[in-house]
Amino acid sequence: QGALTLDAIEEADLTDNAVVRGRQFIETMRDADLDPVDDVRGKGLLCALEFDTKERRDAVVKNAFERGLLTLACGHEVLRILPP
């Protein structure tokens, strides 16, 4: 089963697509130059935003959840984006 899953991922070119979409997200967030965001980083579609305060990060986590976006608070001020 695991080999079939990996074959399907490879055939659909999902890895390359994740790299492209991740770069697109990171560039868009950096270009937006959002004041409370100190850093934007990531690899593939696992992206992270580092906020200036934990309180701002937590407010974004709550708002994202209310809108149906799954995120993960980690560290003191970091928010991980976990796309569907």
Checking if the pLDDT of 79 tops 80, the result is yes
Q: Which CATH number covers residue 28?
A: 3.90.1150.10
CB within 8 Å of 58: residues ≥ 6 apart: 73
Look up the domain containing 52 and give its range. Answer: 2-81
The pTM assigned to this predicted structure is: 0.81
Q: Any residues with CB less than 8 A from the CB of 38 and at least 6 apart, and which?
A: 50, 51, 52, 77
Residue 67 has pLDDT above 80, yes or no: yes
How many structural domains comprise the chain?
A: 1
What is the structure's pLDDT at 83?
A: 74
Long-range contacts of 11-15 (CB under 8 A, 24+ apart): 15/44
Note the pLDDT tens digit of each residue in 7-55.
Answer: 888 888 888 999 999 999 999 999 999 999 999 999 999 999 999 999 9
- Residue 38: per-residue pLDDT: 96
Output the pLDDT for position 12: 84
What is the rounded (10 degree) CA torsion for 56, 59, 45, 21?
A: -90
